[in-house]
Amino acid sequence: MIDQEKYKQIALKILLPIKEIDSKTKANEKFLFTATRSKSGYNLPEYYLLYFLFVDLLGFKNLGKFEKIAFSIPIDYNGKAFLIEHRKFGIGLFIQDAEKDEKYAEEIVKKINGAVKSARPFYDYIAQEAVNSSKFNINNNNSKLFERFDFLLKLYKENYEIYLKNKGKTEKKVTKSQSSETIIITSLDFEYSQKSNWFAISCIEAFFSWTEHLFIHIAVISQNVTTGKEISNLIDAEWKTKFTSAIPITTNEISKFYNDLLIVRQQLRNFVAHGAFGKNGNAFMFHSNAGAVPVIMNHKKTKNRFSLNGQLSFKEVEVIELIEKFISFLWKDSLEPIMYYTQECELPTILTMASNGFYSTAIGSMEIMRIFSDKLMSDFDNSANMDW
């Protein structure tokens, strides 16, 4: 708990002489309809900070929603009425007389900013309570993260195709001088082989970044992960835990995807994420009569087709093929409605809809999910446009 009265009194002291309107507050008869936006109002804090301050902490009256207005809080400053309103084009401080009231608006905004800063512990309390009660949405960045992956995938494929067309080909250049002739033979495929490998590694990293985010949304929508604590723990968990939380291993197909992708994930993390030194001496070579020998010696030949060697080179063709097959798998059967909601519609994941059973109903079929998603997108659009 927090001592709200303490922060209320601190804020009120900073805001003086701002107070709630009363019968003595002077205002034009049609002020609510003719108020104009002040220039100083552009320096106000975020709309939600103002709402929590004036309505939740201080108890000022909110006149409610109107067309294109989310909330309207009238205030008294030295006996004159001003309005704090969140309109379609943003939060603002609205005044009666553009010429006379602008200087007062500047003073009001300074006091409000000071009061907001003093109430930070109160805002932290509100946020923590929302998480504890699981009343929050999870922002959806899946589409942007996938676009990054897809961009790198295309670059990899373009360069790999050029590499294949020039594989084994060479180019001879002859440079002549007065006394000699120099012949330089260049491998045409080397440049594109290297570039395609670089793009492949970046593409693979982007894939795991995308799935780290995607699996959180899938887990909430389909696997009954419904509390703020569970989600916080899952966000902090390793990729393999996110995978199994979102897609339980119930078939041989899922098991194979999990095991193969986990190998790639571990090797990529162990090698690339450690500055190309790997772990446990991957980048070390010791001296011997046999020449330079890796510190980590393979005593047995393994069947790991995704191995990452000491030159930062995946067997990228096989890895990319695996990733593309997994992406196709995500859009099949019971996962398709979830992917439609979170990937195609780009909707946020709403925790209350997970806990009250809305999602479990919606993911039952693509038809239900389309109807549900269309309604939700329409509601979000109306809210953004303040069409109540």
Run of H or E residues at 176: strand 170-176
Query: Where do the domains of the chain lie?
Result: 4-132, 140-384
Average pLDDT over residues 360-385: 91
- pLDDT value at position 299? 43
Give the mean pLDDT of the chain: 87
Over the stretch 259-287, which tens digit does the pLDDT of each residue have? 999 999 988 776 655 554 455 445 556 66
Residue 337: count other Cβ atoms within 10 Å of its Cβ.
23
- pLDDT value at position 312? 42
Q: What's this model's pTM, rounded to 2 decimal places?
A: 0.74
Over the stretch 302-329, which tens digit does the pLDDT of each residue have? 444 444 443 444 578 899 999 999 999 9
Please state whether beta strands 349-350 and 137-138 pair in parallel, antiparallel, or not at all (unpaired): antiparallel
84 residue type, one letter: I
Distance CA(135)–CA(131), nearest Å, equals: 6
Over the stretch 225-240, which tens digit does the pLDDT of each residue have? 888 889 989 999 999 9
Residue 4 has pLDDT above 90, yes or no: yes
Which two tokens mark 258?
A: 């999990």
Q: Tell me whether the omega of the peptide bond preceding residue 337 falls within 30 degrees of 0, making it cis.
A: no
Over the stretch 49-64, which tens digit does the pLDDT of each residue have? 999 999 999 999 999 9
Average pLDDT over residues 186-205: 87
> pLDDT band at 66, cuts 50/70/90?
confident
Contact between residue 55 and residue 7 where contact means Cβ atoms under 8 Å apart: no
> pLDDT band at 372, cuts 50/70/90?
very high
> pLDDT band at 290, cuts 50/70/90?
low
- pLDDT value at position 294? 62
- pLDDT value at position 284? 59
Contact between residue 56 and residue 126 where contact means Cβ atoms under 8 Å apart: yes
> Three-state SS across 351-369?
HHHHHCCHHHHHCCCHHHH
Q: How far is CA 28 from CA 20, 102, 137, in A?
A: 17, 16, 41
Distance CA(134)–CA(354), nearest Å, equals: 10
- pLDDT value at position 305? 45
R_g of the chain, CA atoms, integer Å: 30
Residue 371: count other Cβ atoms within 10 Å of its Cβ.
12
Q: For residues 192 and 365, which has the higher predicted lDDT (pLDDT)?
A: 365
Q: How far is CA 281 from CA 91, 293, 295, in A?
A: 57, 12, 6
